[in-house]
A and B are shown apart, each in its own frame.
Chain A
Amino acid sequence: METVWARPGIDARSITETLAEEAPCRLSSVQATLERLLRKNFLARSKKGHAYFYTALQTRGDVLGALLKDVIKLLHDGQTNTILSSFVNVAERLDDSALDDLEAMIRRKRLEQERADD
């Protein structure tokens, strides 16, 4: 996806050549991966001569957004909490009055502390 984002309308052979320096792989592996991404609607392709040229259907932001949704779902399920955790429970919603109460509680404590310091 990185290569397709960088060079829209690229073919499998060019992707293999681009990847040769960082992660060498065979043309057939690249073609298989592109097929899978195509089936999952990440890519679109057009045929010119004998070769297919690929363009991304989803932006980097779309893919990241979808991944973060997966993270939220896993956090909500709670079954992966030994590997995945968040500072606050991202799937937990506090009602407005509870938020106001907590805010008031912190403010009161802050005032108390300031008075004690004076």
Chain B
Amino acid sequence: MTEFIEFAGSFATVWVGLWFLLACLLALLYPWLKDRLLAWHPALAGNMLLLLLACPLLLSFSCTLFLFLPMLETALVSSHCHDNCATHVPLVAIPEVALLGLGVVTAILAVFLVQIAKNLRATLRLQKQLLSLAKPDGDYLALADKQAFVFTLGWWKNQIYVTEGLKQHCSEEELAVVLAHEKAHTRRYDNIRLLLATVFTSVLPARISKPFLDDFHLMIESACDFEASERFGELKVAETLLKIQKLSPAQCAIGSTVISTAFTGSEVKQRITALIQGRALSRLQRASFQLSLLLLMAVSLGLVQPLHHGVEYLFALH
């Protein structure tokens, strides 16, 4: 049992250490990558950002596997040996760091799961209460409230809620744009993408992971705007966005107690600008995406060897 704890703890220490290091490296490179990503069609940009965010987790995990299960390493790490080939560094168990590793991984997991359970409980309770007050109206549920407000709630079976206030101010076509946008979220499994992005960045402090998550959110919202625009045109979607922004509770509640934050470089502004500029999904963009994917794979594979030897060096010093 002690041996297993030492093994698992050492594995966790190396894995989380590498994950954190690679995620920090990505955060350092991100300002340079961001402008290039935002120039792409948002659907492609979102996919690429999610892959980039997954890289530190997957790369660190596979590197740690190669270190702890040497029979796997021959695939990507050139053959080498230490101490007359008697042992492989790091030793399978490093008792000094085993407890630390286990503690850190348990803490990250516990915080994450508690947060998810807390949020899930709050939203499910809200959903139950809203369902009892809403009336089905075609593809959505209508809420008898004066505020102009539309939102989607749910995990597997999303439901769109539209207030009477919004219905009074919007035309049938504008409502159809909103519904097309929200249905695109469901079709693309955007809630699962968001959850994955949160998992991939969970090793970073909130201040560092926030720009990634904000940009990813912008990309998936924008991707759904473009999906809706295939049916209604970019300008109609842009007009609808602007109209609903003007009607939104925060916009109408200046000076009141409703929670609001004033932005000048807001998400809505960026989404409308993207629609006006138009970012057609060209063949060139698809080719760039595929090329970037190959480059990402090559860089990841190229990093395996230096990371392997780097960790060995650190523990040999130890």
- A86, B152: Cβ atoms closer than 8 Å: yes
B252-273 near A? 1/0 per residue, CB < 8 Å: 0010001111111011110011
B154 neighbours in A (Cβ, 8 Å): 83
A65 neighbours in B (Cβ, 8 Å): 145, 147
Q: Complex Cα distance A68/B259, Å?
A: 12
**Which one of A69, A83, A89, A94 has the highest number of Cβ atoms from chain B below 10 Å of its Cβ?**
A83
- B144 part of interface (Cβ distance < 8 Å): yes
Question: Which of A64, A69, A79, A99 makes the CB contact (< 8 A) with B245?
Answer: A99
B200 CB to closest chain A CB (Å) equals 13
Known pairs A64-B145, A68-B147, A93-B251; A87 contacts B178 (CB<8 A): yes
Known pairs A61-B145, A83-B120; A91 contacts B260 (CB<8 A): yes
- B181 part of interface (Cβ distance < 8 Å): yes
Q: Which of under 10, 10 to 19, 20 to 34, or 35 or more describes the interface residues of B?
A: 35 or more
B38 CB to closest chain A CB (Å) equals 17
Q: Complex Cα distance A83/B238, Å?
A: 25
Question: Which of B119, B262, B269 makes the CB contact (< 8 A) with A79?
Answer: B119
A66 CB to closest chain B CB (Å) equals 9
B139-172 near A? 1/0 per residue, CB < 8 Å: 0000111010111111100000001000000000
- A26 part of interface (Cβ distance < 8 Å): no
A61 neighbours in B (Cβ, 8 Å): 144-145
Question: Which of A72, A99, A106 makes the CB contact (< 8 A) with B249?
Answer: A72
- B130 part of interface (Cβ distance < 8 Å): yes
- B28 part of interface (Cβ distance < 8 Å): no
Question: Number of residue pairs across A and B with beta carbons under 8 Å?
Answer: 155
- B71 part of interface (Cβ distance < 8 Å): no
Which residue of chain A has its CB nearest to the CB of B267? A89
B244 neighbours in A (Cβ, 8 Å): 87-88
- A88, B126: Cβ atoms closer than 8 Å: no
- B119, A106: Cβ atoms closer than 8 Å: no
B192 neighbours in A (Cβ, 8 Å): 82
Known pairs A79-B115, A81-B194; A105 contacts B272 (CB<8 A): yes
A60-103 near B? 1/0 per residue, CB < 8 Å: 11011101111111111001111111111111111100110011
Q: Complex Cα distance A83/B130, Å?
A: 14
- B235, A74: Cβ atoms closer than 8 Å: no
Question: Which of A69, A73, A75, A94 makes the CB contact (< 8 A) with B151?
Answer: A75
- A7 part of interface (Cβ distance < 8 Å): no
- B133, A88: Cβ atoms closer than 8 Å: no
- B308 part of interface (Cβ distance < 8 Å): no
- A82, B260: Cβ atoms closer than 8 Å: no
A2 neighbours in B (Cβ, 8 Å): 132
- A85, B152: Cβ atoms closer than 8 Å: yes
Which residue of chain A has its CB nearest to the CB of B197? A82
B228-247 near A? 1/0 per residue, CB < 8 Å: 00000001001101101110
- A103, B250: Cβ atoms closer than 8 Å: no
- B195 part of interface (Cβ distance < 8 Å): yes
A106 CB to closest chain B CB (Å) equals 5
B21 CB to closest chain A CB (Å) equals 26
- A109 part of interface (Cβ distance < 8 Å): yes
A72 neighbours in B (Cβ, 8 Å): 249-250, 258-259
B156 CB to closest chain A CB (Å) equals 10
Question: Could you give 14 example pairs across A and B, Cβ below 8 Å?
Answer: A81-B194, A82-B155, A83-B154, A84-B123, A87-B182, A87-B244, A88-B241, A89-B267, A91-B249, A91-B261, A92-B263, A93-B260, A94-B251, A98-B266
User: Interface of A with B (CB < 8 Å)?
Assistant: 2, 60-61, 63-65, 67-76, 79-95, 98-99, 102-103, 105-106, 109-110, 113
User: Interface of B with A (CB < 8 Å)?
Assistant: 115, 119-120, 122-123, 126, 129-130, 132-133, 143-145, 147, 149-155, 163, 178, 181-182, 185, 190-192, 194-195, 198, 217, 235, 238-239, 241-242, 244-246, 248-251, 254, 258-264, 266-269, 272-273, 276
The list of the 9 closest CB pairs from A to B, nearest first, reads A86-B151, A82-B191, A93-B250, A80-B119, A83-B123, A93-B262, A93-B260, A82-B195, A88-B245
